[in-house]
Structure 1
Amino acid sequence: MSSYSPYWMFQKNEWAKLRANVPMTLSPIQIENVKGINEKLDIEEVSNVYLPLSRLLNLYTKASHELHSVTDRFMGQKTKQVPFIIGVAGSVAVGKSTISRIMRELLSEWDEHPSVDILTTDGFLFPNEVLEEKGIMNRKGFPESYDIKKLIDVLADLKSGRPDVEAPVYSHLTYNILPDEVQVLDQPDIVIVEGVNVLQTPKTRGADPGTYVSDFFDFSIYVDANEDDLLKWYTERFMKLRDTAFQDERSYFHNYSGLSNDEAIAMAEDIWRRINLRNLHENIQPTRNRADLILHKDRDHLIDSIMLRKA
C-alpha cells in the first residue's frame, strides 16, 4: 500500500527555519492588537509560524503576478494587476480571524503588496429576517445560510480588477447584517477571505452553482484543532463575552449576560454540540484536505504542526 501524502509535513521548529532572513517588523503592541479573545499570540509564535508563512505567500504572490503578465502578453492585452486571494477556513473558535489579521499585518510590510484587505464571509450571511422566513435561523453558519451568489459576484469583481468593490458588513453585536454599511475594496494587492465555508465544494453545499468560492483562491489555509480543544475555546470565549459584549443592551445575546457560571457553561456546550460541532462534521472538516496549507493548533492555541501541499 502506498504511503504517499500530497503534503510536506513540518514540526514548528522545522518550519521556523524557513523564515530565512526575513526580519520581524511587528511590535508586541501590534501583535496584541490583533489577538482574539483567550488566544496566545506573541513575538515568538509570529516569528516561528507566521513570518515564514508570509515569506511563502510573498513568493506565491509574485509568481502569480508574473504568470498573469505572461498570459496578458500572450493575449496582446495590457497587463492589469488583480489581487492575490487567500482563503482561510476552519471551525468556529479555532482562531481564523486572528490568523487573518496577523497575516494582513505581515503581508502589508512587503514592498510588493502593501495593500491587504480582509473579507469575512459573515457579511454574506442572509439577514436574520430572511433566515427566520426560511426557517433556518437555527442553522446560521451552515452553507444554506449564506448568500453564496453575492459572495461569488464580489470575488469575480475583485478578480476582474474592478475598483471600489462593495461588500456587506456584519455586526457581531447585533448578530445581523448592517443594512446601511458596506466594506469598500479598492483594488487591493491581496485579499484574505476568511470563513467557515470558504473551501466547500458544490458537493458539500448540496448543489452545483457552476462556480464556487474557492475557484477564486490563489492559496488556501485550513486551521485545524482537536474537537475537545475547540469546545474548550468556544466555552471560554462565551464566558468572556458574557462578561463583556453581552452586557451591552444592544447585543443580540444580552439575555445571556445574567447567566451564572454553571448556566453559561451549559449554554455554551449546548450551542456547540447542537450547531457548531454538527456544522464542523457535516460541512467544514470534510474540506480540510482541499487546503494548500494546514495549520494545526495544540491545546494552548499555538501551532504545533504545519502541512504544505506539494503541488
Structure 2
Amino acid sequence: MGGHAAFRDGETKLPYLVFSRPEWAALRANVPLSLSEEEVASLRGRNEPVSLADIRDVYLPLSRLLNLYVLASRSLNSMVESAFLGAPRSAVPFVIGIAGSVGVGKSTFARLLRAVLSRWPDHPRVDLVTTDGFLLPTRVLEERDLMQRKGFPESYDLRRMIGFLAALKAGERHLQVPFYSHEAYDVVPGQFETIDRPDILIFEGLNVLQTGSERAAVASDFFDFSIYLDAATADIESWYVERFLLLQRTAFRSPASYFHHYADLPRDEAKDVARRIWQRINLPNLEQNILPTRERARLIVRKERSHAVNEIRLRHL
C-alpha cells in the first residue's frame, strides 16, 4: 500500500497516498487487459513508447478506480433525486479533467484512458474533448498581440468553454465543440464536434485546473475527477524538442502546415528553434500557470525520463 509523502521539490505537504508503479499495478485486481498491441500503437503519440505493460500496470488500475467513482457518483445522484427531490432526472456525464504541460503526453494519456474506460459495460460511451477547440481564432490572437501567448489562459475563449461545461453538466444534448486543426494551427470556422450526453467526458488541456476570480466559474468546477500528468521540467523540454524534430520530418512537410517554413531547416537549427519556442512560450506557461495547479488534482501521474510512469499520487477522499 502506498504511503504519505511530501513532494520531492519541497512543496506544501498534502494528503496524498503515494504509490510506486508495482504498488499501483497490484490495484488492477482482476480487470482484464482489454486493448491489443495494435490498438495501443494506433493511440500512442509519435514519440511516446507506450506498451501493453503500461496499459496493464497504469491504465487498468486507474480505470478500476474511475469505474468506482462513476458508480458511486451515480448512486449518490440517484439517492438525492429520489429521496430528496422526488423526481429522478437523466444521468449527466461524469467529467474527468486532465492537465499538464505541453509535451508531457496528455493527448496520448487521454486517448488511451478513453479506450480503456470504454471497455467497461457500466460506461461504454466515453468522449474526449481538448481545450484546443476553445482557443481564440488566429485572427483574434493576432489582433490582441497574443500569438506568442498561445496556450496561456488569456488565449482561450473562456466564456465559451465554461458555457459548454455548464451545459454538459446540466444534461443538455447535441453540444457543439469547435474543431481545431493542428495543421492549420487554428480553429476551423463552421466545423464542430458534437457531444451528446456521453457516460464519461474526458476534458484535456493545459490550464484546466487553473483557478479564477472569486466570482468567475472555472473549468474544474465541473470536474468529478482530475488528473495531472507530471514530469521533470528538463525531461519535458527534451521530449518537446524530440517531437518538434519528428514533426519537422513528417507533418511540417505538408505545404498546408502552419509550420511548413521549418520543414527544411538543418537539424541543429531546428533544435535551436524548438528550444527557443520552449523557453519563450511553453516554459513560462508551465511555471506561471500550469505547474502551480498540480496540487489541485485528485491524481498525479509522474513520468520518468523514458516516458514510463514511475509514481502515482492519489489524494485522500
Q: Report how far residue 78 of structure 1 moved.
A: 2.2
Residue 217 of structure 1 is matched in structure 2 by 223
Alignment of 1:27-66 (within 5 A): 27-66=36-75
- How much is the aligned-residue C-alpha RMSD, in angstroms? 1.1
Q: Report how far residue 162 of structure 1 moved.
A: 1.1
Alignment of 1:108-123 (within 5 A): 108-123=118-133
Residue 294 (structure 1) aligned with residue 300 (structure 2) = yes
Deviation per CA, 1:148-193: give whole Å up to 9, x if none: 1101111111111111111111110000001121010111000000
In structure 2, C-alpha distance between the alignment counterparts of 1:132 and 1:67, rounded to whole Å = 47
Residue 196 of structure 1 is matched in structure 2 by 206
Q: Say which SS state the counterpart of residue 271 (structure 1) adopts.
A: helix
Deviation per CA, 1:223-262: give whole Å up to 9, x if none: 0000110011000000000000000000000000010000
Which letter maps to 1:272?
Answer: W
In structure 2, C-alpha distance between the alignment counterparts of 1:209 and 1:115, rounded to whole Å = 33
Q: Say which SS state the counterpart of residue 87 (structure 1) adopts.
A: strand
In structure 2, C-alpha distance between the alignment counterparts of 1:155 and 1:23, rounded to whole Å = 32
Which letter maps to 2:70?
Answer: T
In structure 2, C-alpha distance between the alignment counterparts of 1:257 and 1:209, rounded to whole Å = 46
In structure 2, C-alpha distance between the alignment counterparts of 1:208 and 1:169, rounded to whole Å = 30
In structure 2, C-alpha distance between the alignment counterparts of 1:99 and 1:137, rounded to whole Å = 27
Residue 239 (structure 1) aligned with residue 239 (structure 2) = no
Alignment of 1:117-196 (within 5 A): 117-196=127-206
Residue 107 (structure 1) aligned with residue 103 (structure 2) = no
Deviation per CA, 1:5-37: give whole Å up to 9, x if none: 410000000000000011101100011111001
* From 265, 269, 293, the counterpart of 1:263: 269
Q: Report how far residue 208 of structure 1 moved.
A: 4.7
Which letter maps to 2:286?
Answer: L
Gap regions ≥5 residues in structure 2:
7-12
Q: Say which SS state the counterpart of residue 157 (structure 1) adopts.
A: helix
Residue 14 of structure 1 is matched in structure 2 by 23
In structure 2, C-alpha distance between the alignment counterparts of 1:195 and 1:9, rounded to whole Å = 24
Residue 84 of structure 1 is matched in structure 2 by 94
Gap regions ≥5 residues in structure 1:
none
Q: Say which SS state the counterpart of residue 140 (structure 2) adopts.
A: helix
Identical columns (%): 51
Which letter maps to 1:161?
Answer: G
Which letter maps to 2:86?
Answer: G
Q: Report how far residue 77 of structure 1 moved.
A: 1.7
Alignment of 1:65-80 (within 5 A): 65-73=74-82, 74-80=84-90
State the aligned residue count.
306
In structure 2, C-alpha distance between the alignment counterparts of 1:272 and 1:208, rounded to whole Å = 31
In structure 1, C-alpha distance between the alignment counterparts of 2:46 and 2:237, rounded to whole Å = 14
Please report the TM-score for the alignment, with normalisation by the length of structure 2.
0.95
Residue 25 (structure 1) aligned with residue 43 (structure 2) = no
Q: Report how far residue 264 of structure 1 moved.
A: 0.3
In structure 2, C-alpha distance between the alignment counterparts of 1:158 and 1:33, rounded to whole Å = 29
Q: Say which SS state the counterpart of residue 310 (structure 2) adopts.
A: strand
Q: Report how far residue 209 of structure 1 moved.
A: 4.9
Deviation per CA, 1:128-161: give whole Å up to 9, x if none: 0000111111100000000111011111111111
In structure 2, C-alpha distance between the alignment counterparts of 1:122 and 1:208, rounded to whole Å = 25
Deviation per CA, 1:19-63: give whole Å up to 9, x if none: 001110110001111100110101111100010000000000010
Which letter maps to 2:28?
Answer: R
